[in-house]
Chain A
Amino acid sequence: MDFFPHRHLLGIKGLQPPDIEYLLDKADEAVKISLQREKKTSTLRGLTQINLFFEASTRTQSSFELAGKRLGADVMNMSVANSSVKKGETLIDTAMTLNAMHPDVLVIRHSSAGAAALLAQKVSCAVINAGDGQHEHPTQALLDALTIRRAKGRLSGITVAICGDVLHSRVARSNIILLNAMGARVRVVAPPTLLPSGIADMSVEVFHDMEEGLKDADVVMMLRLQRERMSGSFVPSVREYYRFYGLDAEKLKAAKEDALVMHPGPMNRGVEIASEIADGPQSVIGQQVEMGVAVRMAVMEALLVSQNQGPRT
């Protein structure tokens, strides 16, 4: 496969394994660019990228911004997270306004599932989903896959335990789809209140006990637990959650000795992960951030350059 047959990246769902491999291979090459002293290329010179963030985000937005800049695009950030305008109306109205400015790619984050897909119907440029509600966060799953592939050499046959608040996590959904598509074995480990309805039919093994769920895992992927869900609504307390589901040295022992520890960030140290583990030798959390820029460069190049080399859907 030497082209990317999609106009937008709205989710991992809809991508075929060769599409995913294509993006990961491209991203592997892009990693090198960020390691050079001269980090700017001319791949997207003259093209305009708009980051449209309806939800506050530091790392994802800056990662997309850097990716665009390193490819030579003109990048504009529209942060509407704190505006008082009602979100639904703003989405379409803002989309039409921005569309009239002829951007080449729109990167959108929104608190509602399906927002990126709705936007894609209304604009005439490429759309990248940077997280829509509890639905998908495709570039996060791609950067996670790239991190795993670079450390383990493959994705097929790797056992990945996704732990924590799966219910509210778009990262978990995108990862479940991607890892299954690439032949990995996926487990989810969480208290029953933090698992979505029908989880057992999502091609995963379900565990409620960390040590059982982590047994012989190659990768331990922790998820963030939002503060408002910690005290009584979904789990009784932080200390109870940490005792049963926080990743500490003792629980990590159940996984393989060389298991990778991952976290999409931002972390709640002492809630879902112990500091010594987050900063420990098995942690690849820093690499994830690094891979994030590379993956986003690869995605933008795929949508804006490579797609012109073949038929697309």
Chain B
Amino acid sequence: MTVTVLTNLRIVDPSQDMDETGAIVIEDGRIAAIGASTAKSLPAGAEVRDMGGLLAMPGLVDTRVFIGEPGGEHRETIKSASRAAAAGGITSIVTMPDTDPVIDDIALVEFVKKTARDKSSIHVYPAAALTKGLAGEEMSEFGLLKKAGAVVLTQGRHAIPDSQVLRRAMTYAKHFGTVVALETRDPYLGVNGVMNEGLFASWLGLSGSPREAEIIPLERDLRIAGLTGANYHAAKISVPESVEAIKLARKRGVKVTSAVSINHLTLNENDIGEYRTFFKLSPPLRTEDDRVAMVEALAAGDIDIIVSSHDPQDVDTKRVPFADAADGAVGLETLFSAALRLYHGERVTLSRLVDALSTRPAAIFGLPAGSLKPGSVADIAFADLEMPWIATAEGLLSRSKNTPFENARFTGRIVETWVSGRQVYRLQG
């Protein structure tokens, strides 16, 4: 029986309201004891390590990760994504079904799980397609998919225009208790939009997508969630009006949670500059006022969680004119460092950040993660909160290099990542 004791840590664990200096005792891959009083009675024969004052938090849980496997392995594989995630302190990911073929069948869910078991150093939880082929027409086999290990139903990047289909799907999903996670985008309004509608888009000669293209279908979804009683998750909102719509729905008793991508919390439309396609996202980057409002909503807890929305794209889909480029940016490795900008610069507390990056997402999707309480699986991320570093495309472990944070200066970095009591990543140098 191996016992590891990690001492001299600042432990932040929102699941037990903990922010204190202390130690973590790991036994058989699980947390045996944690906190300030732990170090006083070390078990005999324990392997003790002084962690030099690093931050320890429950391993991060990223619930919106796009991967190229199967079908787009040149962009990212489950293995390469897991390495990138580990380097970002992420110990659990939920993978999107937007692959080729689409993850809408139990055999494909099993494929993802098996590949992850063989090749991934972190926990990989597949999301399954809400509708077959993500076409928005026919329900997939929710019950069987859940039994096979799908943790959430989603349309990935795709919308679900038909309200009747959505109503039936949510009604059926409620029976299995599965969360339905949707990004909202009106199929007509701003359909050609490639960035946020407004003056900046007009000067660039790019078609804009108005904020209403996100808000209107979200309001519809919230009504259907109320109608059916399903657990609805707004998977990627980008404007404060969406937050307001969700707050109102909660008041009506709708079971709804929400996520915002780290990009929408730290970047705005001006970052696009002269047609920089790495900043082409869906929903599009909004104005600085929107960004600030989203940070405030996150701090207040009105937005539940942060996702990386990691979306690897190759040069063939990004080194093209802006309007022709694919949406999306990689984000696993920079998620925590970028999120620390909100702590260092914008008064979001560390406890709230860790909650939004780990404890809350685990709770929403029912994952065995997000906590360092005794008995929990020892998934831990260790960070140096003050370490300065500059992100570079070459430094990324992800197979794709489409980061919006190229040459960005960060303060704070993941130093070590442990999964089930074993170190899976350590910062070199």
- In the complex, whether B42 has a CB less than 8 A from a CB of chain A is no
Binds B, one of A22-30, A77-85, A106-114: A106-114
Interface residue stretch chosen among B82-90, B195-203, B360-368: B195-203
Contact with A along B322-337 (1 / 0, CB 8 A): 1111000000000000
Interface flags for B182-203 (1: CB within 8 Å of A; 0: not) read 0000000000000001111111
B residues near A173, Cβ cutoff 8 Å: 203, 205
* A92 near B204: Cβ-Cβ < 8 Å: no
Interface residues of A in 127-143 (CB under 8 A from B): 132-136
Q: In the complex, identify which listed stretch (A194-202, A210-218, A234-242, A287-295) lies at the interface while the others stay far away.
A: A194-202
Task: Please tell me if the beta carbons of A202 and B199 are within 8 angstroms of each other in the complex.
Answer: yes
User: Once the chains bind, are B206 and A113 in contact (CB under 8 Å)?
Assistant: yes
Residues of A within 8 A of B316 (CB): 89
Interface residues of A in 96-125 (CB under 8 A from B): 110, 112-115, 117-118
B275 CB–A CB distance under 8 Å:
yes
The residue of chain A having its C-beta at the shortest distance from the C-beta of B320 within the complex is: A88
Return the chain A residue nearest B325 by Cβ: A88
Flag A181-199 by CB within 8 Å of B: 1 or 0 each: 0000000000000001111
Q: Does B126 contact A (CB under 8 A)?
A: no
A30 to B353, CA, bound (A): 64
A202 touches which one: B197, B202, B320, B321 (CB < 8 A)? B202
Taking CB atoms, residues of chain B closer than 8 Å to A92 are 319-320
User: B198 touching A113 by the CB < 8 A rule?
Assistant: no
Contact residues in B for A134 (Cβ distance below 8 Å): 205-207
B274 in complex: contacting residue of A114, A133, A197, A198, CB < 8 Å: A114
Rounded to whole angstroms, the CA-CA distance of A173 and B319 in the bound complex is 25
Cα–Cα, bound, A246→B410 (Å): 56
Give the interface centre of B197, B206, B316, B321 by most chain A CB atoms within 10 Å. B321
- Could you count the A-B residue pairs with CB atoms below 8 Å apart for me: how many are there? 76
Return chain B residues, CB-CB under 8 Å to A198. 198-202
Q: Which residue of B lies closest to A137 (CB)?
A: B205
CB distance from B212 to the nearest CB of A (A): 12
In the complex, are the beta carbons of A112 and B198 less than 8 A apart?
no
Considering the chains assembled together, what is the distance between the CA atoms of A114 and B323 in angstroms? Answer: 9
B322 touches A201 (CB 8 A): no
Separation of A115 and B201 alpha carbons in the complex (Å): 15
Q: Is A91 an interface residue (CB 8 A)?
A: yes
Interface residues of B in 299-340 (CB under 8 A from A): 316, 319-325
In the complex, the answer to whether B274 meets A117 with C-beta atoms within 8 Å is: yes
Q: Is A263 an interface residue (CB 8 A)?
A: no
Q: Which residue of B lies closest to A176 (CB)?
A: B203
Measured between beta carbons, the chain A residues less than 8 angstroms from B210 are 197
Beta-carbon nearest neighbor of B324 in chain A: A88
Is B284 an interface position by the 8 A CB rule?
Answer: no
B155 nearest CB across to chain A (Å): 26
Question: Would B275 and A118 count as touching, CB distance under 8 A?
Answer: yes
A-chain residues with CB within 8 Å of residue B204 when the two chains form the complex:
113-114, 135
CA distance A197 to B200 in the complex (A): 9
Chain B nearest Cβ from A15, distance in angstroms: 15
Say yes or no: A113-B275 contact (C-beta < 8 A), given A88-B321, A197-B197, A197-B198: yes
Chain B nearest Cβ from A188, distance in angstroms: 12
Cβ-closest chain A residue relative to B194: A113
> A170 on the interface (CB 8 Å rule)?
yes
Q: Tell whether, in the assembled complex, residue A87 and residue B324 are in contact, meaning their CB atoms are under 8 Å apart.
A: yes
How many residues of B are counted as interface, with CB atoms below 8 angstroms from the partner's CB atoms? 23
A-side contacts of B404, CB under 8 Å: none
B322 to A, closest residue via Cβ: A114
Contact with B along A126-161 (1 / 0, CB 8 A): 000000111110000000000000000000000000
Chain A residues near B321: list those with CB within 8 A. Answer: 87-88, 91, 110, 112-115, 118, 132-133
Residues in chain B near residue A114, CB distance under 8 A: 204-206, 274-275, 321-323
- Complex Cα spacing A88 to B203, Å: 21
* Mask of A31-45 contacts with B, CB within 8 angstroms, 1/0: 000000000000000
Chain A residues within an 8 Å CB radius of B207? 134
By a CB distance below 8 angstroms, the chain B residues around A113 are 204-206, 275, 321-323
Residues of A1-26 contacting chain B, CB below 8 A: 13
CB distance from B226 to the nearest CB of A (A): 32
The complex places the Cα of A202 from the Cα of B198 at a distance, in Å, of: 11
Instruction: Assess A91 versus B320: contact at CB under 8 Å? Given A117-B274, A201-B199.
Output: yes
**A91 vs B322: C-alpha distance when bound (angstroms):** 12
The answer for the CA separation of A197 and B201 in the assembled complex, in Å, is 8
Report the minimum CB–CB distance from A174 to chain B (whole Å): 10
Chain B positions within 8 Å of A199 at CB level: 202
- With both beta carbons as reference points, the residue of chain B lying nearest to A177 in the complex is identified as B203
Complex CA–CA separation, A135 to B203 (angstroms): 7
Q: Which of B204-220 contact A (CB under 8 A)?
A: 204-208, 210
Contact indicator B205/A132 (Cβ below 8 Å): yes
Instruction: Tell me whether A133 and B275 are in contact (CB under 8 A).
Output: no
Contact mask A54-71 → B, CB, 8 Å, 1/0? 000000000000000000
Which residues from A are CB-within-8-Å of B319?
92, 118
Contact A136 to B202, CB < 8 A, known contacts A114-B321, A115-B321: no
Residue among A13, A91, A135, A202 with the most chain B CB within 10 A?
A: A135
CA distance A136 to B202 in the complex (A): 11
In the complex, the answer to whether A135 meets B320 with C-beta atoms within 8 Å is no
Complex Cα distance, B199 from A198, in Å, reads 4
Q: Closest B residue to A88 by CB, please name it.
A: B320
| 20 more CB-based (< 8 A) A-B contacts, given A114-B323, A201-B199 | A87-B321, A112-B323, A113-B205, A113-B275, A113-B321, A113-B323, A114-B206, A114-B274, A114-B275, A117-B274, A117-B275, A118-B320, A133-B205, A133-B323, A134-B206, A173-B203, A196-B202, A197-B197, A197-B208, A202-B202
A-B contact pairs, 16 of them (CB 8 A): A88-B321, A110-B321, A112-B321, A113-B275, A113-B322, A113-B323, A114-B204, A114-B205, A114-B323, A118-B275, A118-B321, A134-B206, A135-B206, A197-B197, A198-B199, A201-B199
Point out residues on A near B: beta carbons under 8 Å: 13, 87-89, 91-92, 110, 112-115, 117-118, 132-136, 170, 173, 196-199, 201-202
